[in-house]
Amino acid sequence: MFVDNVEIQVRAGHGGSGLASFRREKFLPFGGPDGGDGGRGGDIYLAVDSGLNSLASFKHKSLFKAGNGGAGGKNRMHGTNAADLVIKAPVGTAAYVKEKGCELIVADLQKDGQKVLLARGGRGGKGNVHYATATRKAPTIFQPGEEGQQCDIILKMQLVIDVCIIGFTNSGKSALLSELSSARPEVADYQFTTKVPVLGVVDDGGNKMTWAELPALVKGSGRGKGLGNRFLHHAGRALVIVYLLDAGSADLKADFEELRNEIKGFDAVLAQKAAIIAVNKSDVVDDAGGCDYIKERLLDTGLPRVMVSALERQGLDELILEVHGLAVEARNMASSYTKPEVVFRPKPVDRRDA
């Protein structure tokens, strides 16, 4: 199952209560206060697990609770600190909290090894040993443990990919990806065969890049037709977009414009990414002149154009070369601007007012 959007609830642990107690020993009538402090409640973190590639594991578990701190004991014994809870998510996951009707981003896991605090555990309360003064030698005061933070979190995952293939149904997206990589999506001549994004690694002999095909767009995807724009956000991190057209179509120019408009309507930034047009099924075009005519027809798109045939494995090397060239260029440009990491600092909560 491909899950890329889930809602979870996180509850950090409460701090353990401090203790009010007095030292009682034979021949020591006024032993004084000896109540220890409570232990810390467990924090909750969100961390990258590079073995995961969707949020499917959250489908059956949506409540995450860290343990509470132990209570303070006699003889100044400190309560046990609870263990932290680390929630694992795939790279490309962002976490949002809902506040006043808005979704505020609190974590954006962009690379392996990243770990971000989602909810802080409560501090343990102080035992009565802390309240003894010269005039108050037998304090019965102690602090209860602080409550742990709780919040509802929305996790959204965006695929971490280099190249994204976008096209209408039956243009051969799956056939192309399975010829280029070891991915084996179903290829069939009925419509909308592919219902979730499919990833494959394409090796050009020097560079390995992750390509993905998204389920087909239809005209009006923006208005929710077909699978709508449900998966288009996964193109957000791609370096290059491959517009895949079907050479057998009556009007390739119109097809391209429609695709482009769907993407623009979804996110204008997506439409400005490095892109290339691949016209698949070149084998159905009668002669080389036909291919030249198609390329000419798409000239004023301003994008590089490659004729390919997934069926007959034609033009694939040229396509890989062009796409990977664009991807390397885009990556070099992006590395001059690195997105700052989002750091979440939970606000301290004063429980005494509560």
Ligand X SMILES: Nc1nc2c(ncn2[C@@H]2O[C@H](COP(=O)(O)OP(=O)(O)OP(=O)(O)O)[C@@H](O)[C@H]2O)c(=O)[nH]1
Which residues bind to Mg ion, rule: CB under 5 A?
Answer: 174, 193-194
Shortest reach from residue 214's CB to Mg ion, in Å: 10
Residue with Cβ nearer ligand X (167 or 197):
167
Among Mg ion, ligand X, none, residue 68 binds (CB under 5-8 Å by kind): none
Among ligand X, Mg ion, none, residue 114 binds (CB under 5-8 Å by kind): none
Shortest reach from residue 67's CB to ligand X, in Å: 47
Residues 246-282 as b or e (16 or more Cβ within 10 Å = b): bbebeebeebbebbbebbebbeeebbebbbbbbbbbb
Q: Are 4 and 156 in contact (CB under 8 A)?
A: yes
Among ligand X, Mg ion, none, residue 227 binds (CB under 5-8 Å by kind): none
Shortest reach from residue 177's CB to Mg ion, in Å: 8
Q: Are 145 and 16 in contact (CB under 8 A)?
A: yes
Among ligand X, Mg ion, none, residue 311 binds (CB under 5-8 Å by kind): ligand X
Provide the sign of the torsion angle of the four alpha carbons 16, 19, 25, 28, taken in this order: positive
Shortest reach from residue 216's CB to Mg ion, in Å: 7
Among Mg ion, ligand X, none, residue 72 binds (CB under 5-8 Å by kind): none
Shortest reach from residue 83's CB to ligand X, in Å: 46
Shortest reach from residue 180's CB to ligand X, in Å: 12
Provide the binding-site residues for ligand X, judged by CB under 6 A: 167, 169-175, 187-189, 191-194, 216, 280-281, 283-284, 309-311
Provide the sign of the torsion angle of the four alpha carbons 194, 197, 200, 206, taken in this order: positive
Among Mg ion, ligand X, none, residue 259 binds (CB under 5-8 Å by kind): none
Q: DSSP of 92-131, one letter per residue? A: TEEEEEEETTEEEEEEE--STT-EEEEEPPPPPPPPGGGG
Residue with Cβ nearer Mg ion (2 or 344):
2
Distance CA 71, CA 247 (A): 72
Shortest reach from residue 144's CB to Mg ion, in Å: 59
Residue 55's SS3 state is: coil
Residue 341's SS3 state is: coil
Residue with Cβ nearer Mg ion (57 or 193):
193
Sequence-separated (6 or more) residues with CB below 8 Å from residue 54: 1, 2, 3, 4, 90, 157
> Mutual orientation of helices 316-335 and 173-180 as an angle, nearest 10°?
80
Residue with Cβ nearer Mg ion (149 or 178):
178
Residue with Cβ nearer ligand X (82 or 241):
241
Residue with Cβ nearer ligand X (193 or 210):
193
Residue with Cβ nearer Mg ion (54 or 194):
194
Strands (E), the chain: 5-11, 44-48, 63-65, 85-89, 93-99, 102-108, 115-119, 150-157, 163-167, 198-203, 208-213, 240-246, 274-280, 305-307
Residue with Cβ nearer ligand X (116 or 278):
278
Run of H or E residues at 327: helix 316-335
Among Mg ion, ligand X, none, residue 17 binds (CB under 5-8 Å by kind): none
**Bridge partners of residue 163, in order along the sequence:** 211, 240
Shortest reach from residue 56's CB to ligand X, in Å: 21
Residue with Cβ nearer ligand X (208 or 313):
313
Amino acid at 283: D
Among ligand X, Mg ion, none, residue 221 binds (CB under 5-8 Å by kind): none
Amino acid at 149: Q
Shortest reach from residue 1's CB to ligand X, in Å: 18
Among Mg ion, ligand X, none, residue 309 binds (CB under 5-8 Å by kind): ligand X
